[in-house]
Amino acid sequence: MKRIIDKFKELIKRTFLIPLTIVIFAFISITNVSAQVNEPTFVVYFTGIGCPHCAKVDSILLKDWLHEYPDLVVVEYEVYQESQNAIFIDEYNTNYNCGYHIPLVIFDKDKNIVGDKPILSSFREEYENHAGNKLPLSDGSSVSIGNISDLSGKPKVWTKDRVAIKTEQNQNGSNEIIKEFISGVDINGLFEQNSIQIIEEQDVQLSGSSVHFDNAAKVEGWILQWNGPSVKGESVEISNEQEENNSSGEIEQTKVLLGKTISLAAVDAVNPCALAVLTMMLIAIISYNPKNKKNIILAGLAFSFSVFIMYMVYGLVIIRFFKIVQAITNIRLILYKFFGIMAIILGVLQIKDFLSYKPGSLGTEMPMSLRPKIKKIIEGITSPNGAFGVGLFVTLFLLPCTIGPYIILGGMLSFEDTLKSIPHLIIYNLIFISPMLLITCIVYFGISKVEDISEWKDKKIRILHLVAGLIIACLGIAMLVGLL
């Protein structure tokens, strides 16, 4: 009987111990999983506002996937509007062999994904494979979330319902605040012990869309935006700090681009090819009716105006072409360097004509084979209307010797919105036709004869090539080394 009672007691113990053991193991497993879930997974993301391929990824990665994966932390480097971020893609390529194309996602040295379709199709799998991934830095090392504020450049750091935007490139700010903010701690608890400035929230621009946040604060070189409850803090009048920084950057970029526009236009304006065509036209008109000075001014203005119109059209076509090339191949950064190299080559060709001049040189003057045809066409001009029509037509023959600087400008303007590029085209072409207008006025007012101007041009042609060569070569070097 005692044996039966002992077996019964043993059975009761097992009946309770087994479920209890299962519960304990389950609790431990859940705790471990929770610990893993709470460990952030970092990726570095290169994108550009205006890139159509980036637009496809931005809307998914920085919206949908951030909510689907609460532990995902995306360090975004936008390289089109924040040009200082572009240097980091070169550093990452050196240490991660990731190339220069965007959109680009970097997990570590062994894994990066380039292009919209590969990212959208394989990101989920790679995210699971790299759970708890540390932040890969441009120097090849990796760090934990504790060093998040030490990031160089002007990145945006995205989490589920928050974004930290670095606004001052050389200021790292409070490491602890940024770390806690990215970690997802309670906002009120985070800011209770820290001095913050409440600012007006701003939609964060993506390529093709934007993200709205309910609140925003400024903390030591960073803008922090989040959804959810607001917090108390010192309200400041900088209605939009980020917008001010962006505006300042855009103004500076516009000034730099304007300088490039004027430099390239100056090179094209002193082009002997264009000056030769205009003087031939004026000689033809004067020879036909030497006493009618009115025809001289009208013909010169008509010819210059027609050249202006056609070159505006050519400029828009060039810009559109390069926009298509960028959209297809994502070679924006490489393309900019190409324009710098092209400018240097054109400058060298111009300087070569100063050292050893030969009429009709490749890339700097109208080929000798075209000159008789142009002369025959121009000799038929008898009126301002004819000058306008010839101006429209001969621009095609002017292109071989004037298109070089214009292609460089068009390539640079293709990085801008089309509407923003139009004023630069207008400025360029006004400078381009200014010598034509000046020669017309000189001849009309009797200050000099057309033949004298043509003779002066022939005597100074080597100097003209030297000036043009030095300007465009220096511009190309500055573009290539990153000074412009």
Listed in sequence order, the DSSP H helices in 270-370 are: 272-288, 293-329, 332-355
User: Is the model more confident about 146 or about 140?
Assistant: 140
Does the pTM of the predicted model rise above 0.85? no
E strands present in 12-138? 41-47, 72-78, 104-108, 111-114, 135-136
Helix H or strand E segment including 27 = helix 2-38
pLDDT score of 236 more than 60: no
Q: Give the pLDDT band (50/70/90) at residue 238.
A: very low
Per residue in 450-464, pLDDT (tens digit) is: 566 667 666 777 887
Least confident span in 223-227, 290-294, 297-301, 443-447: 290-294
Q: Where is mean pLDDT largest: 151-155, 386-390, 476-480?
A: 151-155
Q: Give the pLDDT band (50/70/90) at residue 118.
A: very high
Least confident span in 179-193, 257-271, 319-333: 319-333
User: Do residues 184 and 162 lie in contact, with contact meaning Cβ atoms separated by under 8 Å?
Assistant: yes
Per DSSP, 186 falls in state -
Q: Give the pLDDT band (50/70/90) at residue 241.
A: very low
pLDDT score of 330 more than 50: no
Q: Give the pLDDT band (50/70/90) at residue 145.
A: confident
Q: Is 285 exposed, middle or buried (0-12, 13-18, 19+ CB in 10 A)?
A: buried
Residues contacting 278, CB < 8 A, separation 6+: 300, 303, 304, 435, 436, 439, 440
pLDDT score of 26 more than 50: no
Structural tokens at position 360: 């009709």
Helix H or strand E segment including 163 = strand 162-166
Q: Give the pLDDT band (50/70/90) at residue 111.
A: very high
Domains, the chain, in order of start with CATH, read 38-239 (3.40.30.10), 245-481 (no CATH)
User: Do residues 18 and 50 lie in contact, with contact meaning Cβ atoms separated by under 8 Å?
Assistant: no
Least confident span in 199-208, 301-310, 325-334, 354-363: 325-334
- Whole-number pLDDT of residue 122: 93
b/e per residue 222-237 (b: at least 16 CB within 10 A) = bbbbbeeeebebeeee
Strand order from edge to edge, sheet including 41-47: 111-114, 104-108, 41-47, 72-78, 156-159, 162-166, 222-226, 215-219, 197-198, 234-235
Q: Give the pLDDT band (50/70/90) at residue 235.
A: very low
- Whole-number pLDDT of residue 37: 44
- Whole-number pLDDT of residue 188: 72
Per residue in 52-88, pLDDT (tens digit) is: 788 889 989 998 999 899 899 999 999 877 767 877 8
Q: Give the pLDDT band (50/70/90) at residue 312.
A: very high
CA-to-CA dists, residue 351 to 17, 51, 463, 473, angstroms: 93, 38, 9, 9
Angstrom distance (rounded) from CA 103 to CA 8: 69
Q: Give the pLDDT band (50/70/90) at residue 287.
A: low
Q: Is 374 exposed, middle or buried (0-12, 13-18, 19+ CB in 10 A)?
A: buried
- Whole-number pLDDT of residue 456: 67
